[in-house]
């Protein structure tokens, strides 16, 4: 597969070989960066970050990744300071920004916005989250974190907890886990179950999938518990949100019957779904997960720009 110029829009566009390749490039870049302090593969290249929705980790780790590759960054973190406010279309915004940058990273509240941007742009477009749909770069860093921690993904039992209805990270991750020999527990309040078409698709691909509301009863089975925030901003009706608000929390008591080796992950930000008392336990992996964002996004930027010869 020629990566130069390739868009990164949905995990569904990837094969297992693509995923494994990105993870291996990220690992080599992490090692090289640790040895040299900074790299210059992307010198002279410009990343444009277009964030139509709030972000801390995704935007800053893409920016950090580009700087660590020796490139530079332009962009915005709120559409309110751009000509979108005057009514400019997404297509015109993309056609403009591609005159200034060599690769575009976009986060947008509308499902399909990143795909539309990729259709319009001549430069590669990377999806940093589109509505409740997909967050493929988060999924790659999640897989990278799991592989670096356990040395493998195959054979693990993984629980996805929380807002499986609106959470884009768990939609992408569940689809990517179908590449591996894992057992999957989908743990959520009834109102926040994973969309049926995704569950059906996972089962068709041969994954063993259990759906449950029982967090404490499931925890002893798990190697990884991937927790998500309730996506309040995606609920069409505040009343529906209030029905599930605060309906689950992972704390030291919840984890008392967990395997000693259980790792708790979270894409962050968290609100109240993991108590801070878990942070200092051997189970907490979520800040290590944050760290993985940089090497994985360095790999994606370098590959789509076509500048990683020799890595």
Residues near ligand CP, by CB under 6 A: 55-58, 129, 138, 267-269
Instruction: Please state whether the peptide bond connecting residue 269 to the residue before it is cis, i.e. omega within 30 degrees of 0.
Output: yes
HEC-encoded secondary structure of the chain: CCCCCCCECCHHHCCHHHHHHHHHHHHHHHHHHHHHCCCCCCCCCEEEEEECCCCCHHHHHHHHHHHHCCCEEEEECCHHHCHHHHCCCHHHHHHHHCCCCCEEEEEECCCCHHHHHHHHCCCCEEEEEECCCECHHHHHHHHHHHHHHHCCCCCCEEEEECCCCCCHHHHHHHHHHCCCCCEEEEECCHHHCCCHHHHHHHHHCCCEEEEECCHHHHHHHCCEEEECCCCHHHCCCHHHHHHHCCCCCECCCCCCCCCCCCEEECCCCCCCCECHHHCCCCCECHHHHHHHHHHHHHHHHHHHHCCCCCC
Residue 115 a catalytic site member: no
15 vs 56, beta carbon nearer ligand CP = 56
Give the nearest distance from C-beta 169 to ligand CP in angstroms.
7
Of 35, 86, 196, 280, catalytic: 86
Nearest to 249 by CA among 173, 169, 162: 162
Q: How far is the CB of 37 from ligand CP (least distance, A)?
A: 25
CA distance 251 to 180: 29
> Which of 124/129 has CB closer to ligand CP?
129
Smallest separation (angstroms) from ligand CP to the CB of 228:
10
Q: Based on CB atoms, which residue is closest to ligand CP, 133 or 218?
A: 133
Active-site residue flag, 58: yes
Active-site position among 6, 59, 68, 107: 107
Report the chain's terminal Cα–Cα distance, integer Å: 16
Confirm whether 86 is a catalytic residue.
yes
Of 6, 108, 135, 165, which residue is the catalytic one? Answer: 135
Catalytic residue among 57, 210, 234, 270: 57
Nearest to 129 by CA among 240, 211, 235, 231: 231
Residues 58, 157, 218, 304: which is the catalytic one? 58
Nearer to ligand CP, 117 or 307 (CB): 117
The smaller minimum CB distance to ligand CP, of residues 252 and 271, is found at 271
Smaller CB separation from ligand CP, 120 or 268: 268
Q: How far is the CB of 296 from ligand CP (least distance, A)?
A: 12
Told to judge if 145 belongs to the known catalytic residues of this protein, a careful annotator would answer no
Q: How far is the CB of 252 from ligand CP (least distance, A)?
A: 24
CB of 213 vs ligand CP, minimal distance in Å: 25
- Residues designated catalytic: 57-58, 86, 107, 135
């Amino acid at each position: 597969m020629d990566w130069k110029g390739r868009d990164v829009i949905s995990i569904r566009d990837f094969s297992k070989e693509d995923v494994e390749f990105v993870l291996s490039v990220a690992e080599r870049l992490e090692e090289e960066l640790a040895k040299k302090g900074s790299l210059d593969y992307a010198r002279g290249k410009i990343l444009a970050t277009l964030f139509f929705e709030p972000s801390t980790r995704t935007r800053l780790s893409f920016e950090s990744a580009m700087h660590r590759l020796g490139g530079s960054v332009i962009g915005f973190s709120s559409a309110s300071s751009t000509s979108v406010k005057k009514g400019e279309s997404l297509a015109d915004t993309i056609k403009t920004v591609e005159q200034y940058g060599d690769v575009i990273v976009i986060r947008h509240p509308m499902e399909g916005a990143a795909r539309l941007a990729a259709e319009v742009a001549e430069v590669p477009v990377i999806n940093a989250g589109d509505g409740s749909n997909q967050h493929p770069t988060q999924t790659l860093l999640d897989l990278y974190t799991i592989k670096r921690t356990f040395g493998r993904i195959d054979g693990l039992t993984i629980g996805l907890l929380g807002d499986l209805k609106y959470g884009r990270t768990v939609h992408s991750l569940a689809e990517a886990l179908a590449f591996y020999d894992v057992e999957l527990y989908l743990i959520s309040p009834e109102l926040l179950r994973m969309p049926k078409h995704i569950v059906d698709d996972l089962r068709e691909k041969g994954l063993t999938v259990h759906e449950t509301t029982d967090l404490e009863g499931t925890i002893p089975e798990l190697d990884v518990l991937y927790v998500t925030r309730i996506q309040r901003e995606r609920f069409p009706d505040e009343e529906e949100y209030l029905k599930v608000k605060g309906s689950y929390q992972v704390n030291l008591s919840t984890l008392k019957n967990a395997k000693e080796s259980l790792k708790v992950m979270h894409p962050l930000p968290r609100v109240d779904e993991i108590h801070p008392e878990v942070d200092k336990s051997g189970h907490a992996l979520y800040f290590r997960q944050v760290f993985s964002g940089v090497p994985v996004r360095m790999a994606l930027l370098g590959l789509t720009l076509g500048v990683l010869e020799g890595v």
